[in-house]
Structure 1
Amino acid sequence: MFHGYLSHERDLIGLAPMLPEEFTLVSVRAPHALGPGFTWFPLLHEPDYSIERVTAAVDDVVSWLDTVKGAHTSVTLLGFSMGMAVATSVLRRRPADIEAVVGLSGFAIPTPSDYFRDDEVAAASVPLFWGRGDADQIITEDKIEFTNEWANANTRLVKMMYANMAHSINPTEMGHVCEFLRQSVLAEAPAR
Structure 2
Amino acid sequence: MTTIRTIERRPIIESGPAPLLVMLHGFGSHERDLFELADLIDDRMHIVSARAPIALPWGGFAWYELSGTPGRLVPDPVGRAQAIELLIKFVSELPGRIGTDPRRTYLFGFSQGAILSMALAWRIPEHLAGVIAANGYLDPALTTQPPAAGIARLPILQLHGTYDEVIPVEQARATRDVLAQYAPRHRYHEDPVGHSLHPNGLSLMQHWLAEQLDAPPPHDLA
TM-score (norm: length of structure 1): 0.87
> What is residue 83 of structure 1 aligned with on the other side?
113
> What is residue 88 of structure 2 aligned with on the other side?
62
Equivalent in 33, 37, 43 of residue 60 of structure 2: 37
Over 3 Å counting, the alpha-carbon distance change for 1:93 and 1:48 in structure 2 is closer
Over 3 Å counting, the alpha-carbon distance change for 1:24 and 1:185 in structure 2 is same
- Count matched residues: 188
Counting only pairs closer than 5 Å after superposition, residues 11-30 of structure 1 correspond to structure 2 as 11-30=33-52
Whether 2:104 is the aligned partner of 1:92: answer no
> CA shift at 1:30, angstroms?
1.0
User: Contact between 1:93 and 1:117, CA under 8 Å: does it hold in 2?
Assistant: no
Q: Distance in 2 between matches of 1:150 and 1:87?
A: 15
C-alpha distance after superposition, 1:31-90 (max 9, x if no partner): 11113211111237567711x322211211122223322321210000001110011112
> What is residue 159 of structure 1 aligned with on the other side?
188
> CA shift at 1:130, angstroms?
0.8
Over 3 Å counting, the alpha-carbon distance change for 1:90 and 1:47 in structure 2 is closer
From the two aligned structures, give the one with the greater helix fraction: 1
- SS in structure 2 of the partner of residue 118 of structure 1: coil
Superposition RMSD in Å:
2.2
Counting only pairs closer than 5 Å after superposition, residues 125-144 of structure 1 correspond to structure 2 as 125-144=153-172
Mark the structure with the bigger radius of gyration. 2
Whether 2:124 is the aligned partner of 1:101: answer no
User: Contact between 1:7 and 1:39, CA under 8 Å: does it hold in 2?
Assistant: yes
C-alpha distance after superposition, 1:89-147 (max 9, x if no partner): 12222110000000111111121466x6514244x421111111222111125522431
Unmatched 5+ stretches in structure 1: none
Over 3 Å counting, the alpha-carbon distance change for 1:187 and 1:60 in structure 2 is same
User: Contact between 2:31 and 2:49, CA under 8 Å: does it hold in 1?
Assistant: yes
Q: Distance in 2 between matches of 1:2 and 1:98?
A: 14
One-letter code aligned to 2:209:
L
Q: Distance in 2 between matches of 1:32 and 1:117?
A: 29
Report the identity percentage: 25
Unmatched 5+ stretches in structure 2: 1-22
From the two aligned structures, give the one with the greater strand fraction: 2
Over 3 Å counting, the alpha-carbon distance change for 1:121 and 1:178 in structure 2 is same
Q: Mean Cα displacement is larger for which, 15-24 or 65-74?
A: 65-74
User: Contact between 2:41 and 2:206, CA under 8 Å: does it hold in 1?
Assistant: yes
Over 3 Å counting, the alpha-carbon distance change for 1:121 and 1:189 in structure 2 is closer
